[in-house]
A and B are shown apart, each in its own frame.
Chain A
Amino acid sequence: KQEVTQIPAALSVPEGENLVLNCSFTDSAIYNLQWFRQDPGKGLTSLLLIQSSQREQTSGRLNASLDKSSGRSTLYIAASQPGDSATYLCAVERGGSQGNLIFGKGTKLSVKP
């Protein structure tokens, strides 16, 4: 059974710091891995998607890497800002499964001015 774990559960950093969020999964037979942002009272916003054949994806200050063989992904946020405060969710899509994303519990990030 695929399980997704995110560490740490919560993180508080001062503004401007670079930070790394971690995601691990137990079954390497994934179709892709996706990072989402969740703001209180709102839906999920997709940040980055990495196909199983890719190693990383970048969007602005965000960089996500994928090491399928070790079952790990990291989300790197450069020069963090208070507006980055949110919960970050990692999800893997299993091969052969119709959009069944397996989510981690998330990392709640607080960036203090």
Chain B
Amino acid sequence: NAGVTQTPKFRILKIGQSMTLQCTQDMNHNYMYWYRQDPGMGLKLIYYSVGAGITDKGEVPNGYNVSRSTTEDFPLRLELAAPSQTSVYFCASSVARGASYGYTFGSGTRLTVV
């Protein structure tokens, strides 16, 4: 049981480049989330999804896009990378709304924009 898998683990981007961070879960969870963690800071929610075809903005969505075509996958797209997007990105999932149902986090993608 792999849980939540994120790829790549590390990436260096140049300013203005684009990339997609991949996230896949094999637990049949309806809810999926993208968080970013800046150095020395807590995590902040970027986008979340309550099921295939349904996504919504979190606290810091600017500069990002998401899609949810299947239950398993929730990719995060950066269109025009900026240095302010240098961060560690975490994907998470849960079976239903709220922490009561337990969150499973991926191991993160460390992104540097230069």
Binding site for B on A (CB under 8 A): 4, 31-32, 34, 41-46, 49, 51, 89, 91, 93, 98-106
Contact = CB atoms under 8 A, between A and B. Distances in A.
Contact of A46 (B43, B44, B102): B102
Contact of A103 (B4, B42, B50, B94): B42
9 contacts: A34-B99, A34-B103, A44-B43, A44-B105, A46-B102, A51-B100, A93-B99, A100-B58, A103-B44
Contacts of A99: 31, 33, 45, 48, 94, 97-99, 103
A102 B59 CA distance: 10
Interface residues of B, number: 28
Contacts of A42: 107-108
Given A42-B107, A101-B103, 11 more contacts: A31-B99, A32-B99, A43-B106, A51-B100, A89-B42, A91-B43, A98-B48, A99-B33, A99-B103, A101-B35, A104-B42
Interface of B: 4, 31, 33, 35, 40-45, 48, 50, 56, 58-59, 90, 92, 94, 97-100, 102-103, 105-108
A34 B98 CA distance: 11
Contact of A98 (B4, B97, B100): B97
- Most chain A CB neighbours (cut-off 10 Å) among B43, B44, B105, B107: B43
